[in-house]
Amino acid sequence: MDYYKKEERRERRQRREKTGRPMILVGAALIGVLVLVGVVLLIASYGEIFTVKGIRGFVRVNLLGKTPAFHYMDIERNGKEERVTAAETFTITYRDEFIVKSVSTDSLFEKNITVDVDGLGGANDLKVLLKAVELVDATMTASVKEALRGRPLPQSAIRVRYNQQEIGVVPVRIELTPQDWLRFARNPANAKWQAQALEKALAMNPDDTALRKTLAEQHLETGKIDQAIAQYRAVLSRKADDMTALAGLSRCYVERKDYARALPLTRRITELNPKDAGAHAIAGFLYGKMGKWNDAVTHYGTSLKLKPDDAMVRFSLGGAYEKTGKLAPAIREYEIAHKRMPDDQRVTQALADAYRKAGREQDAAKLYATLARKNTKDPNAYAALAQAHGRKGQVKEEIENYRKAIAAQPRDPILRYNLGVAYDKAKRHKEALAEYEKALQLKPDDTDAAARISEHYFRGKRYREAVEALNRIRKTAPKNPRVYADLGFAYGELKQYRDAEENYKKALQLGSSDPNIHLNLAAIYEKQGRTKEAAKAVEKGGKSGKATTEALERMGAQQMKAKQYDAALKTYRQLSAVESRRGLAYANMGTIYGIKGQTEKAIENLKLAVRYDKEDEGSWFALGEAYEKKKMYKEALEAYKAAYQINPESRAAERIPQLRIRMLEDKHRE
């Protein structure tokens, strides 16, 4: 039994020995392959280690604990592999995306090695995808002034560190492109540099018309009209029918108010694209600015056919109709625009004004009230409502709304004046006077307000109070000629002739062209016995412009007194032209013609005098004398009778019997 057991153990041992040897060989082979692959990979990745320099570095770092040296880095840029050494510069543009895949140093397996790209990534950028555009934008923002002057941007760097100690640097140079400047310009944060950035981009790519149009628009938006025009013209020189450039250049001329140059450009757009509703609307606007309202109506109408829902164009069409005097279609367009834009104050105001012009006072008042309710601080709304009430004779409401308008805009002289007029309507003269004085304080050259103040005192012949008020006003309105003219009149009525003369002369010195001032000054001279000066003043008054009937009467009387009959005749003709039914003018012309021996003309004018003033005894008597000179005794007798009936104490009482005797004598001679 033992024999068999021993034999069995020997067989098993032999079998194990037979199977074990191949396994050992296979294992040894595998280990050999792995070692070989590892060596190959090690050489591929860390080939520097197997050089003399590498071995020294390995020993120095791993055995002696020294700082490793940087050899190179492998970078994948836009899908392509690159190797960059410390002696090279890494150049990038905004388009690049890159990864620092590995760094070759004396440190085996990149132990304790980190990579930091200035301006990008985080603490360690090794094997991190980086976008160059972020670095480009940040660097441009930080160094914009230098870049705009054409200087290169400051270099960035890829820094290699070992345990936070920098062991290598690869410089990074940014290469700018037109797109960089364009992107920079489009960033709202860079608005200050926008135009300059676009100019830099254009300088790098002068044939880019899209870029040129962008620059032109930027110039236009910032008010640099000349520069914008130059850029748009440059585009049109390359492409004559560029719609954007045509529209932009037209806008430039509109900004300059040079509508005659803007119009052909806009019309060209409508020719190139007849269905451009906006271009037709702009053409309508331009025709309107040039006063060609019928053409404006045509183009606004075309625009609305293409785009019927454009309420603003419809509003503009209403305005154009109104300018051509077509109020009914204007109201129709305004109503449609108002229906679509009920909250637009301009439309509401225009419709209200059109209703007022058409006599639809109730409709106008409703809209004015709506304007006032919607904008309680809008003085124009209250002023318009006040005017509407005033036209309807509702003085109380007129005053109330003017006061609301003034509360919103207390320093408006027109509102103050209008409130004064409303107070006068309500016979609240004291309050009216206060408003006129406030209006004059706000607008010292307001002659209407000064006249109202004077009239207030003159109405009651309160000349001394007028002098006090006008002297007070003179301090706030020292260059208002009306104030001095009224002071002259008030002083004249108070018989303070020297003061009157001084103020009349001051009014003339300040440029007043009112002929009545000369005539009033003539009256002052006359009262002081200064006849020659009075005559000269009358002559100047006749030459200086349109005078009042009262002043013309005074001037004619002065000329008659000075026996200046030709001048007086001219004055009375002027008076008859101003007031054709003024009997006095014809009476005096008849008298002058009688003095000059022109009896027929005397009769002609005296007949007109008694026609317009049947109760003028003097004219009837003068007419009788004229007839008598012409031996028209029957007509003379009738004229004398008319004079006698008006005034029994007339000289005609003596002439009637004398004339009858003469008529009998003539009859008996026959």
Dihedral, CA atoms, 135, 139, 144, 148, nearest 10 degrees?
Answer: -70
- List the beta bridge partners of residue 104: 72
168 membership: H or E segment, kind and range: strand 165-174
Helix (H, G, I), strand (E, B) or coil at 530: coil
Q: Pick from 484, 483, 488, 481: which is nearest to 513 by CA?
A: 481
CA-closest candidate to residue 559, choices 526, 576, 535, 578: 535
Q: How many residues does the chain have?
A: 670
Query: Residue 421 contacts by C-beta under 8 Å, 6 or more apart in sequence?
Result: 432, 452
| CA–CA distances in Å: residue 297 to residues 288, 319, 358, 480 | 9, 9, 20, 44
Phi, psi (degrees; rounded to nearest 5) at 9: -65, -40
User: Rounded CA gap, 458 and 469, in Å?
Assistant: 12
Q: Which of these, 101, 239, 73, 56, lies nearest to 159 by C-alpha position?
A: 73
Tokens of residue 358, six digits: 């058409």
CA distances from 608 to 555, 559, 589 (A): 21, 22, 10
**pLDDT tens per residue across span 534-559:** 777 777 766 655 556 776 777 777 77
- Residue 75, helix vs strand vs coil: strand
Question: Kind of pairing, strands 113-117 and 70-77?
Answer: unpaired
Helices (H), 256-412: 259-272, 277-289, 293-306, 311-323, 327-340, 345-357, 361-374, 379-391, 395-408
Structure tokens at 615: 């109760």
Distance CA 451, CA 482 (A): 7
Average pLDDT over residues 249-271: 90
Of 517, 565, 573, 572, the closest CA to residue 541 belongs to: 517
- pLDDT of residue 49 exceeding 60, the answer is no
Q: How far apart are CA 191 and CA 215, in angstroms?
A: 13
What is the distance between the alpha carbons of residues 409 and 419, in angstroms, rounded to a whole number?
13
Measure the N-to-C terminal CA separation of the chain; round to a whole number of Å.
216
Rg over CA atoms, the chain: 52
Query: Cβ distance 516 to 541 under 8 Å?
Result: yes
Convert the pLDDT of each residue in 477-487 to its tens digit.
888 888 899 89
Q: Which H/E stretch holds residue 73?
A: strand 70-77
Alpha-carbon distance of 370 to 356, in angstroms, equals 15
pLDDT band at 457 (very low <50, low <70, confident <90, very high): confident
Q: Measured between alpha carbons, how far is 594 from 408 in angstroms, rounded to an integer?
A: 66
- pLDDT bin (cut points 50, 70, 90) of residue 109 is low
> In percent, how much of the chain has pLDDT > 70?
83
Q: Is 60 exceeded by the pLDDT of residue 250?
A: yes
Q: Nearest to residue 347, comparing CAs of 357, 329, 335? A: 335
Can you give the pLDDT at residue 313?
A: 93
25 or 149, higher pLDDT: 149
Alpha helix positions (H), 409-528: 413-425, 429-442, 447-459, 463-476, 481-493, 497-509, 515-527
Give the phi and the psi of residue 83 in degrees, each rounded to 5.
-120, 125
128 by DSSP, 3-state: which? coil
Mean pLDDT calculated for residue range 161-188: 80
pLDDT in tens, 191-200: 565 666 666 6
CA 405 to chain centre: 23
3-state helix, strand, coil in the chain (%, to 5): 70, 10, 20
Q: pLDDT per residue over 230-241, tens digit each?
A: 888 888 888 888
For residue 127, what are its two tokens? 């094997």
**Residue-wise over 496-534: b if at least 16 C-beta within 10 A, else e?**
bbebbbebbebbbebebebbbbbbbbbbbbbeeebeebb
Alpha-carbon distance of 163 to 166, in angstroms, equals 8
CATH architecture of 189-347: Alpha Horseshoe (1.25)
Q: In the structure encoding, which two tokens stand for residue 275, read together?
A: 């269905």
Compute the distance between CA of residue 314 and CA of residue 330 in angstroms, rounded to an integer.
9
Percent of the chain with pLDDT over 90: 19
pLDDT at 7: 65
- Name, in order, each residue with C-beta under 8 angstroms of 269's C-beta and a sequence gap of 6 or more: 243, 246, 247, 250, 276, 279
Stated pTM of the model: 0.51
Checking if the pLDDT of 189 tops 80, the result is no
Q: Where are the domains of the chain?
A: 70-175, 189-347
Give the integer Cα–Cα distance in Å for 576 and 549: 9
- For residue 389, the model assigns a pLDDT of 84
Could you tell me the CA-to-CA distances from 246 to 205, 243, 253, 299 in Å, in that order?
22, 5, 11, 18
Lowest mean pLDDT among 46-55, 193-202, 431-440, 455-464: 46-55
CA 232 to chain centre: 24
Evaluate whether 108 touches 62 at the Cβ level (below 8 Å): yes
Residue 623 to residue 640: CA distance in whole angstroms: 8
Provide the pLDDT for residue 506. 92
